[in-house]
Amino acid sequence: MVDYIGIADIQRLVHQIGAGAFIERLAGEIEADYRRWADFEKSARLASHSDVGVIELMPTSDGQLYSFKYVNGHPKNTAEGLLTVTAFGVLADVATGYPLLLSELTVTTALRTAAMSALAAKWLARPASRVMALIGNGAQSEFQAIAFHRIVGIRELRLFDVDAAASAKLERNLRALPELADLAITVCSSTAEAAEGADIITTVTADKRNATIIEPSMVKPGMHINGVGGDCPGKTELHRDILLRADARVIVEYEPQSRVEGEIQQLPADFPVTEFADIVASARSPRRSDDEVTIFDSVGFALEDFSALRFVHALLNEQRDTKRQIDLVPRLADPKDLFGGVLGQASPQAKLRRVA
């Protein structure tokens, strides 16, 4: 039997811990795995692109556990009442190849993306950062707001989305959370208005196109930019001149993948970037000055899903009374007799058919 986490299970796990605490603990797991970066097999994700979206596989292993995530990105889905992003994943034992866990990752991906965003900002943003512009107020935005409030200490959010209903939805959901009672929220009429006075700008838009959500004039010395939405070839959010600023530093997760999918796809292949694992390994603030502009060019990397799957599996194993399993792999008396053990006349399945 293989452990299983569905939507109801992740709802229960998050509600028991609290969304903010869940994201904070998950960020700790991700940071711990980045500290052992050398242990992991690393490869860019395998992507199948179409005119309307992308379907991707994201694998990795640390030699003991193996994981992969299936994830899609289809921006036009919302017009049909469907999610832009859905995902599921598997955690497996390298020694036997047996799957240990089959899990939903639609909700968990949103949680881990927010955890990674806030973790990067904890390292890269100025310590006194308290105001964040949140550009793009769709399905990922609440998770980002909760993470930055909990981990970074953001106390003022400035919101903008081209869809005013999305901003209204985000404000409504955030005001309903007691843990965010001290969070001031302002809905703005433009990206520029939202960015005014912000210490951090988070962009999490969905359109699959080369966009310039953030213009150079909006970026002030000392800002931290958390670019989340530019995450596949032909999809960007930042004007390239922001990346080329003399006072800017660009941090990525896994450089070979980011060169193809991130904001830096706009730049020459030799443009210098720093991988996040090097930041964590340094054990000190990477900021060269308070005026430095830091840019986290986030596309999402398989290690983060590995961390998330390992984390939720551990939580599941703490609650064996509510744990669910599925018969994904047959159990055989003779491992060389797959047919007889599953389809033969003496198999449990055959006996059930005869009883029916």
Q: Which sequence positions are flagged as catalytic?
A: 231
DSSP per residue over 23-47, as a string?
Answer: HHHHHHHHHHHHHTGGGS---PPEE
* Rounded Cα–Cα distance for residues 348 and 324 (Å): 21
Q: Which helix (H) or strand (E) holds 14?
A: helix 7-17
354 exposure class (CB count in 10 Å sphere: 0-12, 13-18, 19+): exposed
Comparing C-alpha atoms, which of 214, 53, 52, 58 is closest to residue 133?
214
E strands present in the chain: 2-5, 46-49, 54-61, 65-73, 87-93, 99-104, 131-135, 156-160, 184-187, 200-203, 210-214, 224-227, 236-238, 248-252, 274-275, 293-297, 324-326
For the chain, the distance separating the N- and C-terminal CA atoms, rounded to the nearest angstrom, is 24
Amino acid at 18: G
* Rounded Cα–Cα distance for residues 70 and 322 (Å): 26
Residue with the two structure tokens 């927010």: 114
Phi and psi, residue 71, nearest 5°? -145, 145
DSSP state of 76: G
Task: Identify whether the C-beta of residue 48 lies closer than 8 Å to the C-beta of residue 54.
Answer: yes
Rg for the chain (alpha carbons), in Å? 22
